[in-house]
Structure 1
Amino acid sequence: MAEICQVCGLPKELCMCEEIAREQQMVRISVDSRRYGKMVTVIDGIDENDINIEDLAKQLKVKCAAGGAYKDGRIELQGDHKKKVKAVLEEMGFRTEVR
């Protein structure tokens, strides 16, 4: 028997909760300069309750071919990847804002 989503009550195959959550969030993308002039792309504003951020961080690291981490509710990627991250997140259904 199919599993039922706890939020919407639909079967897991038909559940749209994660997609709706993506559309409602505004994800902020910025670049910080760290020690010794190293650039770090920071992705912030993703709700931890609706989306598995650790899996999203892994996907972004693979797409950008960069190292990174998930810390303090935000994803940090080594290097300046604003354009690539924006394109990947919008393809996944997120609304983005580049700072």
Structure 2
Amino acid sequence: MADENSFDDLLKKLDEDEIKIIVQLYVIKRGKRVTNIKGFTDQEKMESIAHELKKTIGTGGTAKNGMIVLQGDHRSKVTEFLLTKGYPRESIEVI
């Protein structure tokens, strides 16, 4: 059983290494700007990161359907936050 768990951990680690996170700015109705962050595979981790981001940046937002949506243009702040969380720069694409 221990070997099976370590194999699952290894697969999970490989999935994390291949994650491509996309940070993108959208302009919605009446010129309002929102920052979308997508590419997370784990829903719980995504919700946790969304909560921390909203608290750190001081903005509103939500996490659903595999995407984090923050009110306002926070592309640079999100990128710096993800780098401090250990995501490699190569896995973060800012559009």
Give the TM-score category using the shorter length: 0.7 to 0.9
Structure 1 residues not aligned, in runs of 5+: 10-14
What's the counterpart of residue 26 of structure 1?
Answer: 20
- Find the aligned partners of 1:46 and 1:83 in 2 and give their Cα distance: 18
What's the counterpart of residue 45 of structure 1?
Answer: 39
What's the counterpart of residue 6 of structure 2?
Answer: 8
Count of aligned pairs between the two proteins: 90
TM-score normalised by L of structure 2: 0.78
Structure 2 residues not aligned, in runs of 5+: none
The CA RMSD measured in Å over matched residues stands at 2.5
What's the counterpart of residue 67 of structure 1?
Answer: 60
TM-score normalised by L of structure 1: 0.75
Shift >6 Å, 4+ stretches: 15-19
Structure with a larger share of its residues in helix? 2
**Percent of residue pairs identical:** 29
